[in-house]
Amino acid sequence: MKLPVPTTKSELRDPLLRLLWRQWSALGVPGQLAGGRAMIDPEALVLVSSAFARHDARLFEEMFDWLRSNGRWINVLRLTRLQKEHVLGDASILAALAEHLTEDSANLKWKVLLKAEPANKQLALFPHLAVLGGTDEKFARWGWLRPPVERRGLSRSPRMDQPSTFLVKLRALFGRQSRAEVMAWLLSHEAGHPAQVARETGYFRGSVQNVLNELELSGHVQASRRGREKHFSAVRAQWRFLLTWTDEPGAEFPRWLPWASLFSLVQRVNDVVERPGFEASSEDLQAIELNRVMEPVAARLREEGYAPPVEKFPAVGGSGMVLLELRRMIEELDQ
């Protein structure tokens, strides 16, 4: 039987928005959707939300509200590194958010995002809503028309007793620096060498190497030589006190997913299918254009050992099949 294929852009966007709702709710945004078993990457989440959350005004406003009260959990330097490396997010929306956030002296670190290119045209931030009454000046400067920002203040701090906020819990313990990501990565993998850990966590190899060497001195992280490479692993039994959401003796540490790469894949595909005239082009042409943007991300995901979802993507066939597989991937992620 032929599977129904997505024919509209919203069929890719809707499951992504549901995933974003789940992740933001887990972080403390008001909502009833629970986070999944994988740990959330807060920077990757902010980046992908800057590109997609505007298609759900309430999600966008809740994210904005959360950032105002909980922005301290975000590592802005890591965010800019992931943004550059994965070409993820919308720089002008991030700049508009940053301009608001830096009104609070506690959020001055967000200033680094104001280096984006200024806008040369203006669009409605929420494409499905008419802009009535006044517009927000800061957003307008970055090319986005929206009603003036109102602070709702409904966001809560992240709940630490769930798998999805595991990385935030580690940030609370170790600080907002590479040590938290390195520990999170080690606890969700058997072992890894510094270059691999650095690539997947979004930090520089040198700093990750130093952190791993220091962690080894604690005795709670071990190192072994494999050829010329030094591989590090966490002594998991000693870290089980962190699994505060379960009493099960066999409970696993939360999964580490390469969220930045996965979100980048979705954003690139979405950018292609949203190009004017794309839907009218031949299936072969659609497949060529999609493969062109997907190939580098898929290669990276394969390298990082996340091949299964990527291998499903057809090398041939029109956008319908690619969108179908991507939709499935999004729905299966973080379940």
Partner 1 sequence: MEITSETLDRTLGLLGELIVLRGFPTQRLVVCGGSSLLALGLVSRTTTQDVDVLAKMEDGSLVTPRPLPEWLLALAAEVGRQLALPGGWFNDRVAEQTLFNCGLPAGMQERLTLRNYGAGLLIGFISRRDQIFLKLHAAVDRDGGRHLQDLIDLKPTAEELRDAAEWTRTQDPSEGFLFNLRVLLKEIGHEAPGAHH
Q: Which two tokens stand for residue 265?
A: 């894949």
Least separation in angstroms between residue 270's CB and partner 1 is 18
Q: Which amino acid is at 210?
A: N
Binding mask 288-317 for partner 1 (x = CB under 8 A): xx-xx----------------------xx-
Helix (H) or strand (E) holding 222: strand 221-226
In the complex with partner 1, the residue whose CB is nearer, 214 or 284, is 284
Q: Which is nearer to partner 1, 71 or 317 (CB)?
A: 317
What's the rounded Cα separation, in Å, for the pair 126 and 56? 7
Residue 68, classed as helix, strand or coil, is helix
Dihedral sign from CA coordinates of 64, 69, 72, 73: negative
Q: Which of 112, 235, 285, 307 binds partner 1 (CB under 8 A)?
A: 285
Q: Least distance (Å) from partner 1 to the CB of residue 298?
A: 14
The distance of closest approach from Cβ of residue 293 to partner 1 in the complex, given in angstroms and rounded to an integer, is 13
3-state secondary structure at position 124: strand
Q: How far is the CB of 288 from partner 1 (least distance, A)?
A: 5
Per CB under 8 A, which region of 63-71, 85-93, 113-121, 278-286 contacts partner 1? 278-286
Q: Shortest distance, CB of residue 286 to partner 1, whole angstroms?
A: 10
CB of 160 to partner 1, least distance (A): 48
Among 205, 221, 331, 222, which residue's Cα sits nearest to residue 266? Answer: 331
Candidates 40-48, 172-180, 248-256, 286-294 — which segment interacts with partner 1 by CB under 8 A?
286-294
3-class DSSP state for residue 132?
Answer: coil
Choose which of 105, 120, 218, 282 interacts with partner 1 (CB under 8 A): 282
Q: Which of 210, 281, 296, 303 binds partner 1 (CB under 8 A)?
A: 281
R_g of the chain, CA atoms, integer Å: 21
Question: Among residues 282 and 335, whose Cβ is nearest to partner 1?
Answer: 282
Burial of 255 (0-12, 13-18, 19+ CB in 10 A): middle
Q: 252 — phi, psi (to 5°)?
A: -95, 155
How many residues touch partner 1 under the rule CB under 8 A: the total is 11
Q: Length of the chain, please? A: 335
- Residue 240 has which token pair? 């089980």
The contact set with partner 1 (CB under 8 A) reads 281-282, 284-285, 287-289, 291-292, 315-316
